[in-house]
Amino acid sequence: MSADLERVGQAAKNAAVSAAKLTAAEKDRVLNQCAEALESNSEHILKENNCDLESAEGIKESFRDRLRLSASRVKSMADGLRQVAALPDPTNEAVSMKNLPNGLAVIQKRVPMGVIAVIYEARPNVTADAFGLCFKAGSSVILRGGKEAIRSNTAIAQVFRDVLAANGLNPDMVQIMTDTSHETARKLMRLNGYIDLLIPRGGAGLIRSAVENSSIPVIETGVGNCHIFMDESADINKAVPIIINAKTQRPGVCNAVEKLLIHERIAAEYLPVIAAALREKGVELRGDKRAVSLVPDVIPAAEEDWHAEYADLIIAIKVVADIDEAIEHIRTYSSNHSEAVITENYTNAQRFLNEVDSAAVYVNASTRFTDGGEFGFGAEIGISTQKLHARGPMGLKELTSTKYIIYGNGQIRL
């Protein structure tokens, strides 16, 4: 363990002790001040962001776009902090309470996680989002953003540190790792004893690296190979808008649909209609042999297509014999993020909901709804695709832990 990293970990652990003691009112006041301070330091942040953009010449435009800040993006970050301030404090509620026969009162209480580390890529807005949520949840946070965004991230975090210090609070409640090497990231992933939770936010490679290398508990987020199964009894008037919405409303995100499975009894009639609607939105169509035979301009799909998260205007289509084959296909290839069935058949709707083992399973609705904001959580830190601790959109509650507190009166165990 490197001494520098241990210092960061120890500082975060000390700050977590103070963070856990803050009242909801204190936290909300600080968050609102941080929002103000972001806006009043907008010019400086944009200047630093510009330096990042200049250093990052030669990178592709989509990456540049994620890295780029503007006055309105800074304002969005500030508004995000204000929204988090307005949410209820997730800590200190009783999850359960019971009196044992011997008179002990056992209360399971929601408490802060402690120290949370977030490893992310190009988006500087994650710096503000992650700080806001972790701070509101009573934890300190160690942020390790991508090297391309280091000046932007440092400027944003410094704004928060200054506000914390001005309030007499420990600024180490938020720390930015300025060493952005992969080696240091891997060491951070093994800082047991200091960090309670690691959240990787980014592409599949980053997530995989965290899952494989971390000895700290990780929450796996965000990879979405989402499916829609159009059952024999599907209503075409629901199916077309749902498929178009799930594929094209925002194709780059993890809850966009990537695969369409269609029942063989309706494929000949409906697939041409759906293909035409998708094509009109500029979607590239790939498919299995039967899809290709029904819609001539469908490109033959390879095995890797069924595994792929395109995050782009591409969809792969497979004609299936029945709901069993659809569920089996999803079981084999899905990343278990979000799947939908379009059906008017009650039994098939229930079977799909019960047997598809994904974080969010829909009947007759777009997969695009898998989102903390849409689910009414107010904000989200990511979408968990694992089964431990949190599954699906993670709001403030998912950033907390619990502990048992027990009020006794001299009880001993017999």
Residue among 306 and 362 whose Cβ is closer to its own copies: 362
Contacts with its own copies in 188-207 (CB under 8 A)? 190, 192, 196-197
Which C-beta is closer to its own copies: that of 161 or that of 227? 227
Select from 56, 59, 106, 204 the one that contacts its own copies (CB under 8 A). 106
Q: How many residues bind its own copies (CB under 8 A)?
A: 70
At 98 the three-state DSSP class reads strand
One residue of 51, 86, 97, 104 binding its own copies per CB under 8 A: 104
Q: Please, is 359 exposed, middle or buried when counting C-beta atoms within 10 Å of its C-beta (0-12, 13-18, 19+)?
A: buried
Report if residue 253 touches its own copies, rule: CB under 8 A: no
Binders of its own copies in range 213-232 (CB under 8 A): 215, 217-219
User: Which one, 70 or 96, has the nearer CB to its own copies?
Assistant: 96
The phi, psi pair for 322, rounded to 5°, reads: -170, -175
Q: Where are the beta strands (DSSP E) in 121-225?
A: 140-144, 174-176, 197-201
Task: Check binding of 249 to its own copies (CB under 8 A).
Answer: yes
Residues 279-338 that bind its own copies (CB under 8 A): 331
**Among 17-25, 221-229, 287-295, 312-320, the segment contacting its own copies (CB under 8 A):** 17-25
Shortest CB 57 distance to its own copies, Å? 36
* Gap between the Cα atoms of 109 and 93, Å rounded: 6
Sign of the four-CA dihedral 346, 348, 353, 354: positive
Q: How many whole angstroms separate alpha carbon 145 and alpha carbon 330?
A: 33
Distances (CA, A) of 294 to 62, 145, 251, 287, 317: 34, 47, 25, 10, 11
Please report which helix (H) or strand (E) contains residue 105, including its range: strand 105-112
Interaction with its own copies in 107-136: which residues (CB under 8 A)?
108, 111, 113-114
218: DSSP letter: B
Q: Are strands 94-99 and 105-112 parallel, antiparallel or unpaired?
A: antiparallel
Which residues are at the interface with its own copies (CB under 8 A)?
A: 17, 20-21, 98, 100, 104, 106, 108, 111, 113-114, 190, 192, 196-197, 211-212, 215, 217-219, 235, 237-238, 241-242, 244-246, 249, 331, 340, 353-355, 357-366, 368-370, 374-376, 386-389, 391-392, 401-413
